[in-house]
Amino acid sequence: MFEIDHVVTWTPERDTAVAALAALTGLPARDGYAPDGRLQARGLRFANGPFLDIHAAPAEGRVLMGLEGPLIEAQALADRQGWRTKAGAGPDEPWDMLSFRKGQGLLTQLFVIDYRPEQVASRSAFNRGLYHLPPTGGPRLARVWIATTDTAQAGVHLAALGFAAAGAIRSDVAPFEGQLHRGPRADVVLCSGEDSVIRIDAPTAEPLQTVALGARLTAVVGRDQLDRASAS
């Protein structure tokens, strides 16, 4: 029903993080949000479509995962499930957004975005490349790891959003194990911990390496054991 669109975070280390991940993956760094011509965000778009959106900030901020899909369907689902939500967007934003209010575990780390593509391409604050240009090859975004204090409840919420439980997996990199939930574009791995989006995976044929994308998010690039298992 919904698919992973992007992961967004705020950090003072924006340029360092983007440059390091671009060098490791070969993906081009792209400019993102630039209000009044002042560049606020940069990132990269993976081969299968999802992108990483890193905003410059004076201190480390949250990490969130955006799901793309029709807002009317997201609101109807939330109403049926009894989820507490907030709909809306800024006055200049070329999309509509549904966010989940605090205190709902996994859901509070997510939002749903519904684009108006013609406005993304025409508005100077958003048409710098990251939000509307297609992928140019390179690795795909395979998985987003999300820590949660209640993995059972989080699994139920992911199922309602259209992700299918696929069992336990192990990784060569922390947090080492979790529960895989397959999505139409990229997958989610749930692991135990304080509610937070903590890791993204971009498999390649090269040896495994990690990149800090600020203090709260890690990119894992290379050939992990779970990718070796799926290829065998």
pLDDT in tens, 85-101: 999 887 789 999 999 99
104 burial level (CB within 10 Å; 0-12, 13-18, 19+): middle
Q: How far apart are CA 104 and CA 117, in angstroms?
A: 30
- The answer to the question of residue 20 being in a domain is yes
Six-digit token string for 181: 């939930």
**Whether residue 94 is found in the same domain as residue 14:** yes
In sequence order, which ranges of the chain are alpha helices (DSSP H)?
Answer: 14-25, 71-81, 117-122, 151-160, 225-231
**Whether residue 96 is found in the same domain as residue 33:** yes
**Whether residue 40 is found in the same domain as residue 84:** yes
**Whether residue 196 is found in the same domain as residue 111:** no
**Whether residue 116 is found in the same domain as residue 155:** no
**Whether residue 19 is found in the same domain as residue 85:** yes
The pTM assigned to this predicted structure is 0.96
Domain count, the chain: 2
Domain of residue 211 covers 143-231
Give the whole-number percent of the chain exceeding pLDDT 90: 94
Count CB-CB contacts under 10 A for residue 184: 12
In sequence order, which ranges of 43-114 are alpha helices (DSSP H)?
Answer: 71-81
**Whether residue 110 is found in the same domain as residue 147:** no
Residue 114's CATH number:
3.10.180.10
| pLDDT tens, residue by residue, 146-182 | 999 999 999 999 999 999 999 999 999 999 999 999 9
- The answer to the question of residue 137 being in a domain is no
**Whether residue 210 is found in the same domain as residue 164:** yes
pLDDT of 229 higher than 70: no
**Whether residue 114 is found in the same domain as residue 150:** no
Residue 129: DSSP 8-state: B
